[in-house]
Structure 1
């Protein structure tokens, strides 16, 4: 009997993850609607401030809260709601958040006073905090293949970036035909469509994660972030005072307590071990700083184009369009570039492109400079687009699927806090320069130009002081980006280097960010 001497076949390798079907891609499209809205509502009021000021007569402090109260609410609660969605089901949280977002948008559109508009904006922020982390985590369950998941996250990041970038454009176009409340009413049809389709397409994402949500950690994170940012904002805008300094100090204490508590919990609200990975840590800062620069310059730029250069809202929106298009397109193509060039190169390019773009705004002036403004937004837009894409994929790719909502929440929290802090701190720097160099007739340029009987010389001084403040904010933001680029150049390893933590606790947190090419 002949013996079969053929070599034994190799054991089969692990089965490849199944390709996502039509339901997964349709689910992604449905999720992108609320993502686009939540991002857009962070910037849609940049060109509507003048109209709101004329109709509701808010104080200077109330005007700032109308703009950044939304971002503070989102940033304060993203971490908490990311974990709630992970552990108790994401679809339910998405549905509740979308319904609340729609209701708050309708209330904001018809708010009869500045106080009620602030309240509805904060409520919109609470709802937005329920949507973003769960929406990002949904992608890790709809797309199990790493390459396809990266592509889906890139699309998600593009929608998020497009929302921020297109907010002023959409707002300006609506203001050319309707009253300022229309910028909120456009949310309602998107919310209605999501509530109709999400239960049909996202039924597979009802699973929850392990453990319970620690209520004390939720309270500590929300209260600590809100108090700290409130205190910093008011101190930067109005100088040292007892109440804001006390609030900032209390916020720091609460956040320190929060950090120590996370290190002891078996299922922490924030997995701090992620920050032992250099790539994740630098990417998280990259999520904050570009949004801070973009929001501050976009807001101040809107005032510059309308109140200094004399453009109406529609024309000002057209001026912002090239930068918005560049940012959005960059976010779409960035994942493919990162796959070839590596995360390290992408992060470095992001920091230095933003810094260079911000410096291009310095030649703008009272009598000219609109072209420099467009060039600035276009060059910096490339850096912004890269940063949005890198941060999102790094956050989700570094953790197992059951922690995707929490990791996504860290990335989105850095974005939202950057958006709010940019207006609060860099905007306050510009306001300080205006008060020091302006004619001292009112606290803002818009109010100054409306002072009865103001002379042409005083108006010119006010416009010049505002432009100087814009330059100061852009220069500080550019220097911060250059410094972060230098840090990235120094500490991010090259191809084959280890980006994760040293051996020991948290070594598993490196995930897909383990090697930086």
Structure 2
């Protein structure tokens, strides 16, 4: 099997083009985390709406990734990539001028729809362009480091934009990034499709979205103190849809997703590693960005610079992973990465009870190193653990695991953090009812209310809100310790062969 691009220079140029949507997605996610405080002040969303603003995009994207991978097999992966890039740019411009929280949530969901066209296409095209194993591993390492590179650029670019412009500028970044892709993609990227594609499965698509959406909604509803009926109902819908999806995929002669791939222990272990590493990374960024701005009082730009060392470490360790697998087994590198995730959260759990900024930043650097190692190798294992004809499905599932991890990182840790904040904050009784509700809902709301009450009253509210938030951070860090340590044990067993 030979690459459709014979020139090495053109292959690496094609990789550069494929990196553009990867950088865009990771820059957008990190920059959006930094825009949360200004979003909260401007649009005044509830705590649940705030989580949905962050989660609507990856939730829709994760639910549609496998389906869009199937569509790309049929209509052409390059064509789907270009359609997705066009739609993503247009909707990003609409999101930039959202007048309400509901509008922004809807725009983020639309971005997830078009983003689902971008991500599977990049990895499956990369698999088609780089057929040599050594070249492919290096290309995947660079591709994976693009997520970290974008995350490193996000705080700087996002911080600069937020200091000079409104939060909508975060979304407008997509336009100049995607224009080069639309111009150079048709020239440098070869078209590829499955010569014998399976049929598009609308029922399967709906079941996949309901399965993930139901479970995430149940987690959010539990964190928002909704009724037990709502929580249990959403969980039942999610679980039932998941079971129905698996049964449907097993019964169809040409399934949208061949769930039999999960019988491969290496493939399943790599996906689980991918999901947990991203869960830990995104969840940490969610509360660190808020602490830096709302508790420590840094400007968005200064907060971004404080996060850069950890994010740069992710890139370095991602590239280092390629060298380490020459001396260690892939399983050993992945386990080391996951244990570094555990150590990063342990630093916060043990030393972060007083809101120690040093503990948070040191923990983030340690965790980032682990993410760089675990993510790079798990992506490569997911692609190479299955037969070449299944590479398209494997790439879509690998991307799905990444996005599910991002969704759950914010949904689980964010909901737990919000619950701890609401139960721990003490709002002064002198405040009006509307301000009491706002301050008791989110840390950003408390900061906004405190700014309107200078003096002892405002200081008392800020002190209570900051203490409640930092207590919630320690609690979520403890969950991170347990989850990543358990995953290290599971990965060591699943990947050892």
CA–CA distance in structure 1, aligned partners of residues 361 and 85 of structure 2: 35
Q: What SS does the corresponding residue of 1:180 show, helix, strand or coil?
A: coil
Q: Encode CA deviations 1:208-237: one digit per residue, 9 max, x unaligned.
A: 553222222122112222222212221233
Correspondence for 1:460: 463
CA RMSD of aligned residues (A): 2.2
Check if 1:482 corresponds to 2:480: no
Correspondence for 1:24: 11
Greater shift, 297-306 or 205-214, is seen at 205-214
Correspondence for 1:437: 424
Deviation of 1:163 (Å): 2.5
Deviation of 1:323 (Å): 0.6
CA–CA distance in structure 2, aligned partners of residues 18 and 342 of structure 1: 31
Give the unaligned 5+ runs of structure 2. 428-435
Correspondence for 1:304: 291
CA–CA distance in structure 2, aligned partners of residues 42 and 97 of structure 1: 18
Deviation of 1:21 (Å): 2.7
Q: What SS does the corresponding residue of 1:159 show, helix, strand or coil?
A: helix
CA–CA distance in structure 2, aligned partners of residues 132 and 49 of structure 1: 24
CA–CA distance in structure 2, aligned partners of residues 66 and 354 of structure 1: 26
Correspondence for 1:185: 172
Correspondence for 1:158: 145
Alignment of 1:331-370 (within 5 A): 331-362=318-349, 369-370=356-357
Check if 1:450 corresponds to 2:437: no
Residue pair 1:44, 1:183 contacting (<8 A) in 2 also: yes
Residue pair 2:148, 2:312 contacting (<8 A) in 1 also: no
Classify 1:235/1:408 alpha carbon distance in 2 versus 1 (closer, same or farther; 3 Å).
same
Residue pair 2:270, 2:491 contacting (<8 A) in 1 also: no
Greater shift, 303-312 or 237-246, is seen at 237-246
CA–CA distance in structure 2, aligned partners of residues 208 and 105 of structure 1: 34
Q: Encode CA deviations 1:293-321: one digit per residue, 9 max, x unaligned.
A: 21121111111111111111111111101
TM-score (norm 1): 0.88
CA–CA distance in structure 2, aligned partners of residues 168 and 15 of structure 1: 40
Check if 1:81 corresponds to 2:68: yes
CA–CA distance in structure 2, aligned partners of residues 204 and 42 of structure 1: 29
CA–CA distance in structure 2, aligned partners of residues 461 and 226 of structure 1: 34
Correspondence for 2:201: 214
CA–CA distance in structure 1, aligned partners of residues 159 and 261 of structure 2: 40
Residue pair 2:63, 2:205 contacting (<8 A) in 1 also: no
Deviation of 1:368 (Å): 6.1
Alignment of 1:258-297 (within 5 A): 258-297=245-284
Residue pair 1:75, 1:416 contacting (<8 A) in 2 also: yes
CA–CA distance in structure 1, aligned partners of residues 262 and 252 of structure 2: 17
Classify 1:237/1:165 alpha carbon distance in 2 versus 1 (closer, same or farther; 3 Å).
farther
Classify 1:405/1:40 alpha carbon distance in 2 versus 1 (closer, same or farther; 3 Å).
farther
Q: Encode CA deviations 1:188-218: one digit per residue, 9 max, x unaligned.
A: 0121111111111113435555322222212
Q: Which has more radius of gyration?
A: 1
Residue pair 1:28, 1:139 contacting (<8 A) in 2 also: yes
CA–CA distance in structure 2, aligned partners of residues 209 and 117 of structure 1: 39
